[in-house]
Amino acid sequence: MFTPLTGRTVLVTGGTKGIGKGIAGVFARAGANVVVVGRDRERGEAAAAELGAAYVAADVGRAEDCERMAAETVERFGGVDVLCANAGVFPDARLEDMSEADIDAIFATNVKGTMLSVKACLPALERSGHGRVVLTSSITGPVTGYPGWSHYGATKAAQLGFLRTAAIELAAKGITINAVMPGNIETEGLDELGPEYRRKMESSIPQRKLGTVEDIGYAALFLATDEAGYITGQTIVVDGGQVLPESMMALEAQ
């Protein structure tokens, strides 16, 4: 049996939409106090109302916003027990068309934003006595590649480089830090890529279906439990087996 997370305070960056909203919903239903963070106020307030969560408007790429997001969470709920550093962007660009600004923008949210969010929450996470950080990385970058996403893949791999040293530093503070690596997850963003993309994606996954935002939420929930307290610096791939086939023939032979 897992110790209930009732009354724990969970801050979810990018919790106003997509995977982050799914993570926030899983924690809210587990009885946690949930704070969702995003830049778009209208979307943030609507998501918070739907989830029974609180909303803080912040851009994780800015240190002062991250400090404020941590401070407002502490002010409202008395602390931070869990940080899900999930906010991320995935614009596509082929390398030959990619500008310096494109590279800076994606690193600002996905890498700098992850690091600043963790740094801002450290004092509160340490005070909790059982601090938990769960990053949302991806299979894209650390395990796989996809044309148009070389900069995105670089940011998702960079998160894992950060994770491994942060885990050693945070161990002394009683904080664990781990990452979930989603495959293709059913979100509004994925819908925009069209039905043909979806059909082909489903056929390349051994389970023949996309993941749900709750699939990622439950992995994050596990990593946030007291019982997962001896796991740190690790990753969990949640992808329906997507990274396993060594060729299309492996799927055809299924």
Q: Which is nearer to ligand NAP, 86 or 176 (CB)?
A: 86
Query: Given the rule CB under 6 A, which residues bind ligand NAP?
Result: 13-14, 16-20, 37-40, 43, 58-61, 86-90, 109, 113, 136, 138, 182, 184-185, 187-190
Q: Which is nearer to ligand NAP, 79 or 113 (CB)?
A: 113
- Please tell me the distance from the alpha carbon of residue 105 to that of residue 95, in angstroms, as a whole number: 15
CA-based torsion, 66, 85, 108, 58: positive or negative: negative
Catalytic residue list: 152
Q: Which is nearer to ligand NAP, 188 or 196 (CB)?
A: 188
- Please tell me the distance from the alpha carbon of residue 88 to that of residue 99, in angstroms, as a whole number: 19
**Minimum gap (Å) between residue 116 Cβ and ligand NAP:** 10
- Please tell me the distance from the alpha carbon of residue 175 to that of residue 122, in angstroms, as a whole number: 9
- Please tell me the distance from the alpha carbon of residue 103 to that of residue 95, in angstroms, as a whole number: 10
Give the amino acid at 21. K
Measuring CA to CA, which residue among 33, 2, 224 is closest to residue 131?
224
> In terms of C-beta density within 10 A (0-12 exposed, 13-18 middle, 19 or more buried), how is residue 120 classed?
buried
Q: Which is nearer to ligand NAP, 41 or 76 (CB)?
A: 41
